[in-house]
Amino acid sequence: MKKYILDASVILTYLIGKNNIVRIEFNKILKSQKQNKAKFFSTHLLPKEIGNGLRYSISNQKLAKEILEKSLNLPVTYFELKPEHYQKILELSYKLQTSFYDTSYHFLAILLKATFLTCDKRYFQKAKQLKHITLL
Amino acid sequence: MNTTQISITIPEYIYKTLIGFVSKGKISNFVSQAVETKLLEQSFANNPIDEFVALSKKTPKQKQENIMQAIKKGRL
């Protein structure tokens, strides 16, 4: 079974982005999840980042709440990172010159031998050398 | 309960089976219950992924840069 780490950029680009390629590619992964061929994971940062993304991109509060609800209903397992994991994330974020937030998703992908799915081109360019990452 | 009169077309064999089960005066009630059961089954059949996909088809779309800026806005 394939394991994927989801960040807010994938969820929000799929739901409210203009990029149809992301929708097509993520549809395939959603389908494989429904067939029990894939499993989704993330960090506890995900709900906060989706919420923040909605807060500053959508003025219609009712729609934003619906998007948050449907996003948080997705079958995602939230991984509990330990203090030693946070130390590793900090080291990696210094090394890659990336944010601690973005690096935490990627670290989880490396830890779980999974693939980090993101639509964040800047992060991808800085961190693709670590592998375990796919830019949608 | 408010009701609406509708006209439906069904295969003859279903109709014949139907009137074997219920009298002609009770067909509306029988069909109504059957439709309601089917609708409930379908609503329960919706799983979170289907709902997520369905939502993506009705939301207004915006530029990728806006989304990325919104996610990262206010990060310390």
Per residue in A58-111, pLDDT tens?
A: 999 999 999 999 999 999 999 999 999 999 999 999 999 999 999 999 999 999
Secondary structure (3-state) at A78: strand
Closest-CA residue of A relative to B51 is: A70
Going through chain A in order, the beta strands assigned E by DSSP cover 2-6, 38-42, 76-78, 115-118, 133-135
> Which of B49, B60, B72 is facing A30, going by the closest CB pair?
B49
Separation CA A22–CA B28 (nearest Å): 47
- Interface A-B, measured as beta-carbon pairs within 8 A, has a size of 79
Domain ranges (residues) in chain B: 12-72
CATH homologous superfamily of A2-135 equals 5'-nuclease (3.40.50.1010)
Per CB-CB distance under 8 Å, the chain B contacts of A13 are 64, 67
Q: What is the pLDDT of residues B2-52, one digit of tens each?
A: 889 999 998 888 888 888 888 888 999 899 888 877 776 665 556 899 999
Tell me the average pLDDT across B57-73.
94
Query: CB atoms < 10 A from the CB of A129, how many?
Result: 9
Which residue in chain A has the smallest CA separation from B69?
Answer: A53
Q: What angle do CA A26, A124, A54 make, to 5 degrees?
A: 60
Contact between A57 and B70 using a beta-carbon 8 Å cutoff: yes
pLDDT for the residue numbered A90 = 98
pLDDT one-digit tens code per residue, A26-59: 999 999 998 899 999 999 999 999 999 999 999 9
